[in-house]
Structure 1
Amino acid sequence: MITSVQPYESAFTVICEISKVLAASYQLEVALAKTLELLRSFVHMDGIISLFNGDRVLDVVVGTEWDKSSDESYRRRLPRKAIDQIMMTDRPLIVENVAHHVAFSAADMKILGASDTVAVSFIGVPIRVDGNIVGTLTIDRVLDNGSRSPPDRDEKLLTMVATLVGQTIKLHHLSPGDRATPMAEGERLQKQPARARKKVHIKGIIGDSPALNALLKQIPVVAETKTTVMIRGESGTGKELVAKAIHDLSPRAGRPYVKLNCAALTETVLESELFGHEKGAFTSAFNSRKGRFEVADKGTLFLDEIGEISASFQAKLLRVLQEQEFERVGSNQTVKVDVRVIAATNKNLEEAVARNEFRRDLYYRINVVPLHVPPLRERHGDIPLLAAEFLKNFNDENGRTLTFDPSAIDALNKCEFPGNIRELQNCVRRAAILAVGPSIVGEDIGCSNGQCLAAAFCMASLKTGPLVAVPEKSRTPPVDGTGSAAFGVPPSIGLPLAPSGTARLNGPRVTDADQVIAAMEKCGWVQAKAARLLGLTPRQIGYVLRKYGIEIKRL
């Protein structure tokens, strides 16, 4: 053991000893285990080295007393959320007490030996090969009243060790099943498109479509700043998950995360909820109370449905966002806070500004960094992944073992889900409840048996006018009063949305089946042509045909 030496001399000594071990002709796992043994003798912490393959799948896990039979036990010991944060942000993670950090679950704390009476610290640094992150070096230890080295000094030491480990990985095979050297792996990663190389995984957000990946790449970048973020997207797309991910990946992750739905409260209640009130400020104010801004001090405040607040309250909110100060209701004392605001809306704010329903200055203040959450119809490839996750959750909750038949996945892929992910989840649960066999088949899906909610929306809309999707070539954001084009608003956000999630345009009214039949006959019973003739989508034509039992003629 390395003991009884000055800190810098001791650090130099341990680096020299680790260099000798990594330069020796050991198997990679053995060399890494010996490295951790030397490290433990210096910093008195248990360490784990985790290596991932090119697809960010955990490949090698080595602990201090590693052997082939201990691999699984070390895998179970890994705090995966903390590891994922290091991998995604490419930055060290220093946690004084894991019990107070969101990256550690109750299971993680139990494995690490943390409790209400036992504090455990954690430090993790990334391991890189030619600039690409290939793994992490993490250590943890129980805090006591004795002396210990400062966390920043431990971090510097671990970073130096991680650099040596990265150089060593170049010269070894990752595993018996992967004969490419890590250097070749690094070269392969460098040759990949930037989108694939920077793929980000965030807990709770499922999918691999281009539209979703574009959003996921932006989240860690936005999270690092203190700037106000505006999350745009239709109802049910998962805007709240995106807001939580931004907070969890930000430097404020260990601070409060407070959320409030602005649409659910009246103006008076909203003011009290956000700014707090003093005792006796109004009839039911029996005690003084802090508002959400005070509770979220040094942290993040998520304001959902911000487009629904009244014009008078918009002026009050603008001052808080600009000055970071306010007064409680019934008080003249100014309260200063440091809060990062994340706002969300499914409303077209540009049109609201043009109609003087939303303050232009507030729009500019909150729309600093806009993020667009794509609707489910723009990420059809993610539907099977989401459906599988929802079915797994249903099985876990109800003790079932249901699976999807391929016909069920085909049926789900044919639906546009105007209610987005929330509607898909309900659809899967409904099918799982009503399924009569061990598998969910196509007939169990609402779209296949006349119980589709999307069809109900469309049929209801046909009574007042068709709801049609705007063709891609005509989805040019307006450049007049709305200002959408000037601010780079995604086309789907720049359009007024009807309940089904598609844009309402002027077109022929369809009150019965006669018009549909006439259009189909005129177009040679080609649904796409008949849809264009009536100003509908082919799917809406299909709904009408099924509802009235119209048989398609084959010419």
Structure 2
Amino acid sequence: MSDAQALQSSARADSADAELLVVHEATQWLSHLNDPDTVIGRMLRLLSQITGLNRGRVVLPDASGEFMEIRYAYGLSSDERERGRYRVGEGVTGRVMRTGQVAVVQDIDEEPVYLTRAVERDTLPPETVAFLAVPILNEDQPMGVLGAHRIRERHRPLHRDITLLRIMAALIARVLKVDDLIREQTAALAEENESLREALSSNQEARHGILGESPALRQAFRQTLHVSPTQATVLLNGESGTGKERFARMVHLTSPRCDGPFIAINCAAIPDALLESELFGHEKGAFTGAVSAKKGSVELASGGTLFLDEIGDLAFDLQSKLLHVLEKQTIHRVGGTKDVPVDVRIIAATHKNLQEAVNQGRFRIDLFYRLNVFPIHLPALRERDGDVKLLARHFLQVASQEFDRNATFETGVLDRLAAYNWPGNIRQLENVIKRAVLVAQNGWITVADIELILTHESHVTDHLEAGGRPDPSASTPGPGDPAGMGAGNTGPDHAPSSSPGSSPGSPHGQPPGRAYRWVREDEADALLAALEATGGNKTQAASRLGMTTRQFRYRLDKLGLHGG
């Protein structure tokens, strides 16, 4: 081997070692993907110091997309970086961006397309200078350009530098894509936080833990603020999960009684044998185990507000004693013989149709009129147009903090949530968001995640269709919690359903889970209209109404309709 050949062989070996060193060092910095300035700056420095590819720059589109600018560079002054601005298609850099093709300028002094815009010729070495530019690709589409100068007369062949620049461009593309993802996620979180901040600052409702901007919710809110300064008894009507206790607290906190106690009792959660003592208290020795006198909730709430949830489940004999409280503002403790004066405002709530209960003899008419002085209807979530997205963002933030996650909704998730019927109302939505945060991969809640969770909701209702008992811990209402509030209920449908006209559920033809619902006479027109629209096809008609075929047939039979 001649001396010249030996030198060439040694030069090739040195070049290969240099390339491996640059790639090895660059990949080590990929662990710092959250800091693109540092990572890309180090890559460009390696190219310059080890391989002589000097003044490296990464040129990316600006916000307008019409121009490109030097975003990252090594060996360029701030003025040079500022001057490095090109239209797409302009100069060598602009052409690489437009075509996605590599550009090799053997001599910048002999290439008319080369603009010498960023770096003036006098700044460069006097010998022949080459310029190399390769596209930074994202799925075969140019997202930027990596360029560098080099002295043309060097032992390293140009094609090896081009190959090295291609490798570095691929690594830079990865850094940029991760940075874009982080920016997108951060922007989404910032937008959600700003939306929540605006809601908290602009809505009085939010100060009481009630989020929403829909007309139906605002109407309930206005009624609540209108009656709260008075001493009037309030009856809150609404499905389970609509926030009745929050509204009751708002009445209390915006009333002259706000400094007094607020006591809440769920009449359906305490056995009848214990409820009387819980409400009215007892004297010592009134029954086995009554070793001392005890004040009841009515007495403890004196000077403040007593909230009686699920008032429709109050035993008939206790209804008369509650009526006595409303009329006389006195109580009798269990085992007591004297009146105990109280000063209490009562707010009652129910998901049941109390008028229907009165007609059936299950609820005292005189107590009904005493409670129904100022009724307020709390809208179901499906009646609150636009509020699902606002609530979903709020619950996402709360759940992320609770579970120490940093979750974000993928595009399309909020629309899917808004299309669902939410038979379990706000409580169900909160439950679904919590599960979504827990199952999210890489911090993203996808539409597929939501579909899977809603399918699980459907499985719960399928259990009811098969005759199973509802799970008391489930987020959807059970047999004692019919979603229909209107008169004319003919009986419970053991197949959960949606109201006619509600949005269909899964795109696969199976509606999402529906609450355990009562069949209502006012559904008849919608059922027949759906049949007519589908030419008598019950399966298609059911799908249009967000029901299963079994639910649809059950309603036809219960309402005595003949659908062909």
CA distance in 2, matches of 1:491, 1:458: 17
Q: How does 1:276-315 map to 2 (within 5 A)?
A: 276-315=281-320
Secondary structure in structure 2 of the residue aligned to 1:230? strand
Equivalent position of 2:363 in the other structure:
358
| Contact 1:531/1:538, CA 8 A, preserved across alignment | no
Q: How does 1:525-536 map to 2 (within 5 A)?
A: 530=537
Equivalent position of 1:111 in the other structure:
none
User: 1:534 deviation in Å?
Assistant: 5.3
Equivalent position of 1:408 in the other structure:
413
CA distance in 2, matches of 1:364, 1:324: 17
Q: Does 1:220 align with 2:225?
A: yes
Matched letter for residue 538 of structure 1: L
Q: Does 1:262 align with 2:277?
A: no
| Contact 2:267/2:275, CA 8 A, preserved across alignment | yes
Q: Please give the root-mean-square deviation of Cα atoms over the aligned residues, in Å.
A: 3.4
Q: Does 1:318 align with 2:318?
A: no
Equivalent position of 1:484 in the other structure:
none
Q: Deviations over 1:401-433 (max 9, x none)?
A: 111112211221121010111111111111111
CA distance in 2, matches of 1:314, 1:328: 15
Structure 2, unpaired ranges of 5+: 1-201, 468-482, 497-514, 523-528, 553-564
| Contact 1:232/1:493, CA 8 A, preserved across alignment | no
CA distance in 1, matches of 2:408, 2:217: 25
CA gap 1:531/1:207 in 2 versus in 1, 3 angstroms: farther
Equivalent of 1:441, from 446, 463, 472?
A: 446
User: 1:491 deviation in Å?
Assistant: 8.2
CA gap 1:208/1:450 in 2 versus in 1, 3 angstroms: closer
CA gap 1:491/1:400 in 2 versus in 1, 3 angstroms: closer
Equivalent position of 1:50 in the other structure:
none
Secondary structure in structure 1 of the residue aligned to 2:455? coil
CA distance in 1, matches of 2:300, 2:358: 30
CA distance in 2, matches of 1:320, 1:461: 40
CA distance in 2, matches of 1:449, 1:306: 33
User: 1:392 deviation in Å?
Assistant: 0.6
| Contact 1:275/1:290, CA 8 A, preserved across alignment | yes
Total equivalences in the alignment: 310
Equivalent position of 2:236 in the other structure:
231
CA gap 1:322/1:450 in 2 versus in 1, 3 angstroms: closer
| Contact 2:281/2:333, CA 8 A, preserved across alignment | yes
Equivalent position of 1:251 in the other structure:
256
| Contact 2:332/2:338, CA 8 A, preserved across alignment | yes
Matched letter for residue 229 of structure 1: V
Q: Deviations over 1:78-134 (max 9, x none)?
A: xxxxxxxxxxxxxxxxxxxxxxxxxxxxxxxxxxxxxxxxxxxxxxxxxxxxxxxxx
User: 1:208 deviation in Å?
Assistant: 0.5
Equivalent position of 2:427 in the other structure:
422
CA distance in 1, matches of 2:253, 2:280: 24
CA gap 1:530/1:306 in 2 versus in 1, 3 angstroms: same
CA distance in 1, matches of 2:206, 2:398: 19
User: 1:219 deviation in Å?
Assistant: 1.2
Equivalent position of 1:540 in the other structure:
547
CA gap 1:314/1:295 in 2 versus in 1, 3 angstroms: same
CA distance in 2, matches of 1:544, 1:349: 26
Q: How does 1:31-430 map to 2 (within 5 A)?
A: 201-430=206-435
CA distance in 1, matches of 2:290, 2:461: 47
Equivalent position of 1:151 in the other structure:
none
| Contact 2:205/2:211, CA 8 A, preserved across alignment | no
Residue identity (%): 41
TM-score by length of 1: 0.51
Equivalent of 1:504, from 519, 537, 546?
A: 519
TM-score by length of 2: 0.50
| Contact 1:301/1:340, CA 8 A, preserved across alignment | yes
CA distance in 2, matches of 1:495, 1:536: 24
User: 1:290 deviation in Å?
Assistant: 0.8
| Contact 1:527/1:538, CA 8 A, preserved across alignment | no
| Contact 1:419/1:501, CA 8 A, preserved across alignment | no
User: 1:348 deviation in Å?
Assistant: 1.2
Greater C-alpha radius of gyration: 2
Matched letter for residue 295 of structure 1: L
| Contact 1:528/1:537, CA 8 A, preserved across alignment | no
User: 1:459 deviation in Å?
Assistant: 4.2
The runs of 4+ residues in structure 1 deviating greater than 6 Å are 526-529, 542-545
CA gap 1:292/1:461 in 2 versus in 1, 3 angstroms: closer
CA gap 1:331/1:417 in 2 versus in 1, 3 angstroms: same
CA distance in 1, matches of 2:229, 2:521: 45
Equivalent position of 1:451 in the other structure:
455
CA distance in 1, matches of 2:358, 2:543: 30
Matched letter for residue 442 of structure 2: G
User: 1:316 deviation in Å?
Assistant: 1.4
CA distance in 1, matches of 2:419, 2:440: 19
| Contact 2:409/2:444, CA 8 A, preserved across alignment | yes
Matched letter for residue 393 of structure 1: V
| Contact 2:432/2:453, CA 8 A, preserved across alignment | no
Structure 1, unpaired ranges of 5+: 1-196, 465-489, 508-518, 546-555
Matched letter for residue 249 of structure 2: K
Matched letter for residue 540 of structure 1: M
Secondary structure in structure 2 of the residue aligned to 1:451? helix
User: 1:267 deviation in Å?
Assistant: 2.3
Equivalent position of 1:91 in the other structure:
none
Matched letter for residue 545 of structure 2: P
Secondary structure in structure 2 of the residue aligned to 1:539? coil
CA gap 1:338/1:217 in 2 versus in 1, 3 angstroms: same
CA distance in 2, matches of 1:448, 1:529: 31
